[in-house]
Structure 1
Amino acid sequence: MIENFASVRGLRLAWLDGGPAGAAPILALHGHFGRARRFAPLAAALAPGHRVIALEQRGHGHSGRDGDFGPDAYVADAAEFLRGLGLGPVIVLGHSMGGVAAFRLAARHPELVRALIVEEGGADNRPPAIPHPVLDVRGWPRRAATLGELRRGIEAQGIPDAGYFLESAVEHPDGWGLLFDYDDMVSSQQALIGDWWADWQGSTCPALLVHGLDSFVLPTAMAREMAARRPGTVLRELAGCGHWAQDDDPAAFAATVRAFLAAL
């Protein structure tokens, strides 16, 4: 995927282009702590029929930040980004926080979204439905002498596998660290705590909801309720997968997405 930059609502946002210009576009939105490049395997699996355009969201990766991490800011960025590219309506795929942004984008800007693919993005992000909606990273190491040391420092905070977070690891002049600001990420997660049912039910386009049955973030009961309460929604449950289903079983995730796209 090729990295590009766009000026979006006063911010310089990075984005990756993963397909030919003439292919059917899919806007991909990562979740908290994520990077646009995590969609590279999916882009390869869907090529050449689809063009995955992955937006690196505000405060993440190589994108800028302005202190606003409210859910509306992510939606407004995505809408303006699509308009800037002259695209729409497109298929919008989002993971976790990016999934919430995706279905809120469809509810607020239906002219931009022809179909939804939501991976592990819940309609209710409040306790007790989601027992721990905020991962407090403020105690994580900010610099380490080596990448391995940074990994061990993060995993010592109770993270079984720091691989997802290390996608944001870079070497600075004073050692290895992560690209995102820790306070920003806590603020963003706190802002996402809420009842998003009206947004989930606020669009009528076809939707695929992908749920990892081993997820500690999206309860299976909520995923099934989401599918039952929104007409036109297909629920696919992936066994042996957790919250990062596309990383746990890339082939199964790609096949699930491909089948949904073929049925559109």
Structure 2
Amino acid sequence: RHALGMRLEMWDALAAQLAPPPPVLRYDHRGQGGSAAVRAAYGINDLVDDAARVVREWGRGPVVFIGLSMGGLVGQGLAIRHPELVRGLLVANTAACFPEANRQGLVQRAEAVRAGGMPAIADAVLDRFLMPATRAEQPELAAAVRAHLMQADAAGYAEACLAIRDADWRSHLAQIRCPVQVVAGSADLGTPVALSQVVADGVAGVQLSLLPTAHLSVLEDARGFSAALGTLLKRLP
């Protein structure tokens, strides 16, 4: 499940790494990508319940759920609130709860897009999503990520900022019983390794894979991300 402001196409590179190709379901969070626009406020539990409904309607559960950033928050909630739907969980570049500085930053970002639309924040977000070297050496990738940000619905983006601002799974992590793999980016400024480590420490038997990336680890190191997924798959019952 994709990062804030992105689309399901974010997973194309990873899907291409999987062999033999398993059944894969990708979806856009409410109010983002190709999903219908939303104007009413919602919380992280609503996003979790959206994911549960998608899995149930797909009919292939329990699933190996993969979520990055915002999607990682949803994945944690799914394993906690709907454990029967999750066989394994990979969460990347995510936190169980954001510290106050990050929470205030999400509020400011929501206010900025409400006032000036996505152009008000697209370049700053891109700088945090991809490392400088990636932006310089892979301009087409950087342009695609920026285009996805610019295409995002501003109102939906703002509501999503507030939804993840209030998420806090810390006291529930020990309830997760399925195999879990945590991925972090060594150059991730938005969700530093220490925040991902909280997730890894909160669930029994969790391993953390550290990749040489910024926030969008699956785009900057698809092979490393695929290897982390492979480690998880080997641990499935």
TM-score by length of 1: 0.73
Flag structure 1 segments of 5+ consecutive residues without an equivalent: 1-28, 143-149, 170-177
Q: In structure 2, give the amino acid aligned to 1:119.
A: A
1:40-79 correspondence to structure 2 within 5 Å: 40-66=12-38, 67-79=40-52
Q: CA deviation at 1:252?
A: 1.5
Residue in structure 2 matched with residue 184 of structure 1 by the alignment: 156
Cα 1:131–1:254 change in 2 (3 A) is farther
Compute the RMSD of aligned alpha carbons. 2.5
Aligned residue for 1:167? 148
d(CA) in 2 for partners of 1:128 and 1:73? 24
Deviations 1:142-196 (A, max 9, x none): 6xxxxxxx7x9943x6743564241365xxxxxxxx1x32122112211211322
Larger radius of gyration: 1
C-alpha distance in 2 between matches for 1:216 and 1:163: 20
User: Is the aligned partner of 1:235 residue 2:208?
Assistant: yes
| Aligned residue pair count | 217
Q: In the alignment, what sits opposite 2:113?
A: 137
Q: Which residue of 2 aligns with 1:257?
A: 229
How far apart are the structure 2 equivalents of 1:225 and 1:244?
19
Distance 1:158 1:233, change over 3 A: closer
Which structure features the higher share of helix residues? 2
Structure 2 CA distance for aligned equivalents of residues 35 and 203 of structure 1: 27
Using CA pairs under 8 Å that are at least 6 residues apart, name the structure with larger relative contact order, 1 or 2. Answer: 2
1:46-77, Cα deviation, whole Å (9 max, x unpaired): 13242221111111111113434321221111
User: Against the structure 1 CA distance between its residues 184 and 153, is the aligned structure 2 distance closer, same or farther, given a 3 Å change threshold?
Assistant: closer
Contact 1:141–1:154 (CA under 8 A) maintained in structure 2: no
1:122 aligned partner: 95
Partner of 1:226: helix, strand, or coil?
A: helix
- Normalized per residue, the structure richer in strand is 1
3-state SS of paired residue (1:104): helix
Code of the aligned partner of 1:137: V
Q: Which contiguous aligned blocks of 4+ residues in structure 1 show a shift greater than 6 angstroms?
A: none
Residues 243-264 of structure 1 show CA distances to partners (whole Å, capped at 9, x for unaligned) of 1111111121112212321332
Deviates more, 1:118-127 or 1:131-140: 131-140
Query: 1 CA distance for matches of 2:216 and 2:58?
Result: 28
Matched, 1:112 2:93: no
Separation (CA, whole Å) in 1 of partners of 2:36 and 2:125: 29
Mark the CA change 1:92 to 1:159 in structure 2 (over 3 Å): closer, same or farther.
closer
Q: CA deviation at 1:224?
A: 2.3
Query: Compared with structure 1, are the counterparts of its residues 70 and 141 closer, same or farther at alpha carbon in structure 2 (3 Å cutoff)?
Result: closer
Inter-CA distance 99–159: structure 2 relative to 1 (3 Å threshold)? closer
Residue 86, structure 1, aligned to residue 59, structure 2: yes
CA distance in 2, matches of 1:94, 1:58: 15
Structure 2: runs of 5 or more not aligned? 128-141
Taking a change above 3 Å as real, the CA distance of residues 47 and 243 of structure 1, as seen in their structure-2 partners, is: same
**TM-score, normalised on structure 2?**
0.81
Q: Could you say if the C-alpha distance between residues 259 and 49 of structure 1 is closer, same or farther in structure 2, counting changes exceeding 3 Å?
A: farther
d(CA) in 2 for partners of 1:107, 1:153: 32
Cα deviation, residue 41, structure 1: 1.4
